[in-house]
Amino acid sequence: MDYVGSLILLAINAALINNFVLHYFVGICPFVGVSRRVDVALGMGLAVTFVITIAAFLSWTLTWFVLQPNAPLTSWIVHTINPNSEMVVDLSILNYIVYIFVIASSVQFVEMFVRKFHPPLYKSLGVYLPLITTNCAILFACLEIMKHVSGVGAGAWTLDKALILGFFGGIGFLIAIVLMAGIREELDLCDVPAPLKGAGITMIIAGILAMAFMGFTGVDSGLAGILMRGGG
């Protein structure tokens, strides 16, 4: 129960309390750019969730087996070549470059997939689909995973936690962008002062949304109490 409880807490934390967009400010570009209509926003949110989950899986695997100090695969290679070596193998300097590669290739994959199986969505996402590559939310998820993989002892994350963080982080992004699109659809009927039209009013609405999401602070500790008691 402890295990399931900790996963649920992590999920709620990633999706609501520390929402990627409204708490960490990552993924602002599509949040402002693609939030004019609810259906497009939903498509974008799903695409991002999908890419984040794939990227989370790949980045955890690569970090754990190849990149972290004394990673199994790299040390094995070094010790096969030179059995007497005492060297600590550390490829973590390559972290960022590897992550960017992983993200770029998973976006390419998603693009091919969507073009083949969902042409209308492909059309409406347009230029924003390749731009997912430069979506900070995905790199941010990879970095969070990296930080926790290198954590020592029991703090180190296993693959399931990385996947949960990626998936629910994406869901958090989806919630934020769909809420935003809903508000902006209504906003078309309102009389917004001219200088604030477009980005200005979007930012202010995001501020108010962020305030609303601050209301989730503390939910985790309450929930932790309930879950742990329920598990006995």
Contact set with another protein (CB under 8 A): 22-29, 32, 93, 95-97, 100-101, 104, 130, 133-136, 139-140, 143-144, 147, 193-196, 199-204, 206-208, 210-211, 214
- Measure Cα distances from 72 to 54, 87, 117, 151, 155 in Å: 22, 13, 38, 16, 18
3-state secondary structure at position 39: helix
- Measure Cα distances from 169 to 138, 144, 189 in Å: 9, 11, 32
Cβ-based nearer residue to another protein, 83 or 195:
195
Contact between 166 and 55 under an 8 Å Cβ cutoff? The reply is yes
Which residue is associated with the tokens 């906003």?
A: 187
Name which of 36, 232, 63 is nearest 157 in CA terms.
63
Minimum CB separation of residue 114 from another protein in Å reads 19
Minimum CB separation of residue 57 from another protein in Å reads 19
Cβ-based nearer residue to another protein, 183 or 227:
183
Cβ-based nearer residue to another protein, 68 or 135:
135
SS3 content of the chain, % helix, strand, coil (to 5): 80, 0, 20
**Which token pair is 180?**
């935003």
Cβ-based nearer residue to another protein, 71 or 209:
209
Cβ-based nearer residue to another protein, 1 or 212:
212
Minimum CB separation of residue 212 from another protein in Å reads 9
Contact between 224 and 10 under an 8 Å Cβ cutoff? The reply is no
Minimum CB separation of residue 69 from another protein in Å reads 15
Minimum CB separation of residue 226 from another protein in Å reads 27
Count of Cβ atoms closer than 10 Å to residue 185 Cβ? 14
Burial class (CB in 10 A: 0-12, 13-18, 19+), 81: exposed
Minimum CB separation of residue 112 from another protein in Å reads 14
Cβ-based nearer residue to another protein, 131 or 227:
131
